Amino acid sequence: MSLDGRYDADNIFAKIIRGEIPSVKVFEDDKVLAFMDVFPQSRGHALVISKTSQARNILEIEPQALAEVAVAAQKLAKAVVAALKPDGVVVTQFNGAPAGQTVFHLHVHVIPRYEGAELGRHGAGGMADVEELKALAEKISAAL
Ligand code: 5GP
């Protein structure tokens, strides 16, 4: 999907928000949800989404919802760093398929980086073990 097009209310993150498919949550409130990426590019890779906005990307999102997502991304990044002690952390997001976006509900990636550990390929990694993701999410949420 390019930058043109419409929001698909049945995209995978919309289903996660509605509880129609499971996710391993780190924290949520009525505005935002942080959860573990199921195809992680590194140990502790997590995502933040708005629960109120139907924006596909940063060009569409309402400023207030963007601010909520940004604050949540910082909160998540701090907790990931405190819990997992990576050597660095990538905070990023993609807009449009040619830019690497694969799920068309705006989201921010928080990807811890460890010295000497190669980054998994974006959107091409294997599925994580759910029990491992739950253990990581518990550790991260304990550091909030
Ligand atoms: P994008 O490529 O759109 O920037 O990022 C989408 C992210 O969502 C990818 O990192 C991908 O691994 C992750 N993802 C795709 N499907 C699911 C899913 O069903 N559950 C979770 N938790 N993450 C997903």
- Cα distances (angstroms) measured from residue 74 to each of 60, 89, 116: 21, 11, 25
Q: What percent of the chain has pLDDT over 70?
A: 99
pTM beyond cutoff 0.95:
yes
Q: Is 5 contained in some domain?
A: no
Using CB atoms within 10 Å of the CB of residue 8, give its burial: 0 to 12 exposed, 13 to 18 middle, 19+ buried.
middle
Q: Is 68 contained in some domain?
A: yes
- In the chain, the number of structural domains is 1
Identify which of 103, 130, 134 to mutate to test ligand 1's pocket (most ligand atoms within 8 A of the CB): 103
CATH number of the CATH domain containing 83: 3.30.428.10
Which DSSP state fits 78?
Answer: H
Q: Is 3 contained in some domain?
A: no
**Ligand 1 atom closest to Cα of residue 35:** 22
Q: Is 96 contained in some domain?
A: yes
Rounded CA-CA distance 25/2 in Å is: 29
Q: Is 4 contained in some domain?
A: no
Q: Is 126 contained in some domain?
A: yes
Range of 38's domain?
A: 12-142
**Ligand 1 atom closest to Cα of residue 24:** 22
| Catalytic, out of 45, 105, 107, 109 | 107
Distance 37 CA to ligand 1 centre (A): 6
List all residues whose CB is within 6 A of at least one atom of ligand 1.
Answer: 12, 23, 35-39, 94, 100-103, 123
Q: Is 60 contained in some domain?
A: yes
Q: Is 136 contained in some domain?
A: yes
Residues of the chain with pLDDT under 70: 1
Residue 107 catalytic? Answer: yes
pLDDT digits (tens, 9 = 90+) for 20-44: 999 999 999 999 999 999 999 999 9
